[in-house]
Amino acid sequence: MTSLELQGQAAKSAAQTLAVAGTQLKNQALSAIADALLAHTADILAANAADLSAAQANGMTVSMQDRLRLTEERIRGIADGVRQVAALPDPIGAAVSEAVRPNGLRISRRRVPLGVIGIIYEARPNVTADAAALCLKSGNAVILRGGKEAFRSNQALTEIMRNALESAGLPKDAISLVQDTSRESANELMNLTAYLDVLIPRGGRGLIRAVTANAKVPVIRTGEGVCHTYVDESADLDMACSIAYNAKCSRPSVCNAMECLLVHRAVAEQFLPLVKARLDVKSVEIRGDETVRAVLGDAVVPATEEDWDTEYGDYILAVKVVDSLEEAIDFCNLHGSGHSECIVTESYTAAEQFLNAVDAAAVYVNASTRFTDGGEFGLGAEIGISTQKMHARGPMGLEELTSTKFVVRGNGQVR
């Protein structure tokens, strides 16, 4: 057996224990994890500093370094997130439906864990703790495969959590980290059908498409975020500026950040200089079509066809002028990733048309796409934003990490 197969075997055994662990025991383990993360803050920061040093030496962009960086405040936030998961209702065992058939059979559907979940993700060490906590509470074992950029941070976090699990009386192999960050280990994980029940990729479009194309394990697509904001002809332009600035600049490296701004031609000459002035605060590079360049001048980089489909994850924004609401809707559906789309408008009719016609996990009227988040939606922590339509769509919390089984009770019925 390969080392990853052994890891999968251990995770499968741990998953069987977790599936019948009570809520109290799981919550005690989560509390122990939160306490341990805070107690070992210095160790986590030391590991993260080594990762950051290597990232800087390798020329990682500033926005990606922000995703990688841990601070005392962020570690406190991670620990708080683990406690929040502990406080959420346990979905396992909950009855989804129940009915009595004419023959007297009582048939109910109950929530059960998925089993063993694999997660492939990039340079965000907070995912290590978030994913582990959510999988634990929903009764699933998890095999984590982070990127090489965050390996030291992920290793430190994982060891701390494994030790805390063991101290709480649960198998430490319920949480494990793939020690090899090569492409080969990712490929092996994608094909670990004997042990993995589902695989969740979290990262950019390249990672998600590679996993979807190559995995034999069932995949839930998350995180691919080519999000649009459309400024309608009836928009409050001051509001539109604020929304666009927040959607692009508050944290450009995350999947719910805006990557493309669409502007109705009727307000383009007035709005584009206003929004550029706001975006200039963060030195956002604008890549625009001919109309945008005609209004804003040579400061705008000519947009290519590739720009309309790019998730920059940086202070770069594609901007296009459209002639109608219908054109904006068609553009979002053609070039978006199915994550989050926004219309800024004072027209009820335009808002309803946009809401009904745009095909995305979250559709907004007059609010930043940055709100697409489990916590912001009142769902608690999330393992990612699903951009597919089967099983789960949008922020994936505890319920989305479960399946169901039928429980049938009879008194001697035969067919």
pLDDT in tens, 42-83: 999 999 999 999 999 999 988 789 889 999 999 999 999 999
β pairing state of 402-409 and 106-113: antiparallel
What confidence tens digit (pLDDT) does each residue in 162-214 have? Answer: 999 999 999 999 999 999 988 899 999 999 999 999 999 987 777 888 888 88
- CA–CA separation, 285 and 283 (whole Å): 6
Q: What is the pLDDT of residue 97?
A: 95
What confidence tens digit (pLDDT) does each residue in 115-142 have? Answer: 999 999 887 899 999 999 999 999 999 9
Cα 230 from chain centroid (whole Å): 23
Angle, alpha carbons 353-358-360 (nearest 5°): 145
- CA–CA separation, 158 and 237 (whole Å): 47
Would you mind telling me the total number of residues written for the chain in this entry?
A: 415
What confidence tens digit (pLDDT) does each residue in 16-32 have? Answer: 999 999 999 999 999 99
Q: What is the pLDDT of residue 390?
A: 78
Neighbours of 238 (CB within 10 A): 10
- CA–CA separation, 192 and 172 (whole Å): 20
- CA–CA separation, 245 and 315 (whole Å): 11
With both helix axes pointing from N to C terminus, report the angle between 151-167 and 41-57 in degrees, rounded to the nearest 10.
Answer: 160
Share of the chain above pLDDT 90, in %: 82
β pairing state of 116-121 and 198-202: parallel
